[in-house]
Chains A and B, each alone.
Chain A
């Protein structure tokens, strides 16, 4: 198998990193719902942190995309 044929495999493997981010986002929102259910008046303050956390975790998944782009560049 030559290097160009392995590029799509590598790019696909880079997508596996999304698993961790999925776990993280699920954790953030499950805890968020739990906290709001316990203390509904804290929602405004908590949602701020929840969205920041969401964006930061989502970015971790997108670093996988950056790695996929780097691998794509190797094949050319």
Chain B
């Protein structure tokens, strides 16, 4: 028996609704851009609505948003030791943006912007180039001292410096791939489960189709964890750039 598995991958396809070019820039309206903007609007609307009537004793919505903010603020200050406070707005924005993009993909029929390597890659390269800029501004040519860890015997330096340099360059790649692979894998697994579930005889369908519910719960958790991991690793990279070597 062969199953039609094409539906499990085809929903990652970028569909261009309107071709738009601004000089060399391609600003076509595709499902990626539409759902990214939708996620941004949803995030802004939720945060605004929860803070419509702020009270000293918060209601449920305000409490939820405050908990989220407090959580990110604490993690940022815990991971960027020197100027953690200045980075809270950036980290909260990144967190809510990625979370919105992850969660909007879980709505049936919607597209997941973070399942595109272009989206996650842009985010990762943005963070990475910012970290490099901070490092160069802070340390000047001392930038390159970061590649020779302290206390290493000089004889090991020809070995250590390339390793450090490669692991430094691998940072944006892993940061982008992690988010992309998690989102893609989750939705593919969901699709495969659904196809398998619909192919089973009727008396056994409850088992695989019930399992898709569990998978969606796992996906919700992964959406949170991946946004959190992205923020934590961004904090670590920026902290690394700020630190003295």
- Interface set of A (CB-CB < 8 Å, partner B): 51-52, 54-56, 58-59, 62-63, 65-66, 69
Contact = CB atoms under 8 A, between A and B. Distances in A.
Interface in B190-234: 222, 225-226, 228-229, 232
Nearest to A66: B181
Interface size for chain B: under 10, 10 to 19, 20 to 34, or 35 or more residues?
10 to 19
B128 to A, nearest CB: 17
B178 A51 contact: no
- Closest 5 CB pairs between A and B? A62-B181, A59-B178, A55-B225, A62-B185, A55-B229
Contact of B229 (A56, A62, A69): A56
A65 B184 contact: yes
A66 B222 CA distance: 18
B122 to A, nearest CB: 17
B225 A62 contact: no
B169 to A, nearest CB: 16
Contacts of B30: none
B185 A52 contact: no
Nearest to B188: A65
A9 B229 CA distance: 33
Contact of A63 (B181, B222, B226, B228): B181
6 contacts: A52-B229, A56-B229, A59-B182, A62-B181, A65-B181, A66-B177
Nearest to A61: B185
B184 to A, nearest CB: 7
Contact of A58 (B177, B180, B182, B228): B182
A52 B185 CA distance: 18
Contacts of A56: 178, 229
A54 B221 CA distance: 12
